[in-house]
Every structure is written in C-alpha cells, then in structure tokens.
Amino acid sequence: MTIPVEDRPKYRNRRGEITTNVLGACSPNLQFQYVLTGWEGSAADGRVLRDAIYRHRLIVTTEFDQAEIEFDQHGPEDHHEQNEHEADEDHITTIGTSDAWTTFRNNLADSMFNSWNH
C-alpha cells in the first residue's frame, strides 16, 4: 500500500512510522469472521470500531459466550434514541499518559505478537 505524501501525517503512529489499523473479529475457535482495513495509523481504536459498526450496520451482542455479529436492517439512525441515555452515564474519555502504561501496553503487544508468530 502506498500512501500519498499529503496523507502521510495521518498514517504516522506514535513512533513516527507509516501504519494502518486493521480490525479483526474472530469466532471462539479463532477463525476470522470480519476484517476492516485502511484506517490511518493515528486513528483511535474506538473510532475504527464505531466506523465498522456504522458502516455495515452491525449489532454486536454483549454476552461474550454468545457473541454474534448481526446485520441491522434499520441502520444507526434508528438506534440514536436507544443510545441517547448512554450519553448521560459517566464515561472515561481520556487517560493520562505515563511511562508505566506505555511500557505495559508495549510489552503486552509484543507478547501477543510473539505468541501469535510462534
């Protein structure tokens, strides 16, 4: 994938490398059920997930053991009222940066990648 020069700043991750985000959803037996690619490397995980849900009008069930992805026939605008009350709840919108969290996240990502790679 070649990123045009004018778009490259959006695709730079925190280390300054050109990257893209890939969202993958797996079944309980670890087979990919859904893959979305192409989001710029600087995009937050929540933005990528929200785009996947709205783009394909998906509803994700909340029960982990019965996790399914279903196609919604009505679209995101019909769920506006349903989700409106959620805006009143306390949500964590930001987390302060720290070396400890950065180290934890990087070690977790490296460990997951190494486990997958072997």
Complete DSSP assignment for 57-101: TEEE-S-GGG--EEE-SS-GGGGHHHHHGGGGS---------HHH
- The H or E element spanning position 117 is helix 99-117
pLDDT at 95 over 70: no
- Across all residues in the chain, what is the average pLDDT? 68
Tokens at 9, concatenated: 């700043």
State how many domains the chain has: 1
pTM for the predicted model, two decimal places: 0.36
C-alpha closest to that of 7 among 52, 41, 50, 51: 41
Question: Which amino acid is present at 8?
Answer: R
pLDDT at position 104: 80
pLDDT at position 75: 46
Question: Which range among 9-13, 92-96, 101-105, 108-112 has the greatest average pLDDT?
Answer: 108-112
C-alpha closest to that of 58 among 44, 70, 46: 70
Domain encompassing residue 41? 5-117
**Rounded Cα distance, 38 and 60, in Å:** 21
**Rounded Cα distance, 77 and 75, in Å:** 6
**Rounded Cα distance, 52 and 23, in Å:** 8
Instruction: Please give the residue that has the higher pLDDT: either 74 or 97.
Output: 97
Instruction: Please give the residue that has the higher pLDDT: either 78 or 98.
Output: 98
pLDDT in tens, 4-50: 888 888 888 778 888 887 777 788 888 888 777 777 766 666 777 77
